[in-house]
Amino acid sequence: MSSKPCSYRCLSPSNAQQAGASSKNLSLTLALWGALAWTASASAQGLELQGAHHDEVSTIRQLGQGRIERVSPTRLRISLPRKALVFDDRPPYDEPLAGTRYRFLDRRGGFILLGLEEDEHSHGLLIDEETAAVTPGGERVLFAPDGRAYFAVEQHNGMDAEVWKVYHRDGREAWAGASYVPDPQEPLRARYYLDGVSWSAKGELQARAACAQQPLERWSVKLIRNAQAEWTWRPLRPCGTKR
């Protein structure tokens, strides 16, 4: 779990009611990450969860079905068969870019996605409704075709680009990057922009790339590991030198 200790509490069914009142270039395939100890859920295969465009009240009304409840402005409660989970915001409550805030984003395929804003970091938590397991999430989560891993999007204040991560199904981080490729000569400047992330049928993470100087000319790239065991997007076409 990526959240800070005591950022939420787990409640057993017996006391939930009381608390509620109170080649050398290797494709990024799942086989590369090794066999995992759990069995993938069929419902997770290719599943996508993301924040809705309407407010949380409407999202809970449409998707909550009695399992998600906004108990108070600073408390979110999720009732699952194994236990209830209570997520409490932390002060300061009304200051931007400070404190901790949870919000319900999406629910589908046996999973619940919560948005989590911690100071200047916006990411999320992914909850398995069957097991009540809580793993790192994001503002958007996209499962691989076989459900054994997932892609998540985060946002850091002051950073124009998104932070991209891939997790094993059990929440272990497998890769982290960003929605751009830096210029080798100027690391703080983007040489390529990336968007449109998806999984191929073979379990490869793929995206669309464009030169920063020619953002409308896009092509497909895949995340691979080179001979130096470094993850990189390929193929990257030559870009002009004009800025």
Digit-coded pLDDT (tens) for 51-71: 865 689 999 999 999 999 999
**Which residue has tokens 């998707």?**
63
For residue range 135-174, what is the model confidence (pLDDT) as tens digits? 999 999 999 999 999 999 999 987 889 999 999 999 999 9
Written as one letter, the residue type at 200 is: S
Per-residue pLDDT band at 243 (split at 50, 70, 90): very low
Give the up-direction half-sphere exposure of residue 200: CA atoms within 13 A in the CB hemisphere.
16
Nearest CA-CA partner of 135 in 164, 158, 168:
168
**CA nearest 113: which of 143, 155, 73, 146?**
143
Count CB neighbours of 104 within 10 A: 23
**What is the rounded CA–CA span in Å between residue 174 and residue 151?**
10
**Judging by DSSP bridges, how do beta strands 140-143 and 149-156 pair with one another?**
antiparallel
2-43 per-position pLDDT tens digit: 433 323 444 433 343 433 333 333 344 443 443 332 334 445
**pLDDT, position 113:** 97
Which residue type occupies 112?
I
Residue 28 in contact with residue 222, Cβ under 8 Å? Answer: yes
- The reported pTM is 0.81
Q: What is the pLDDT of residues 38-48, one digit of tens each?
A: 334 445 778 99
CA distance 129 to 9: 16
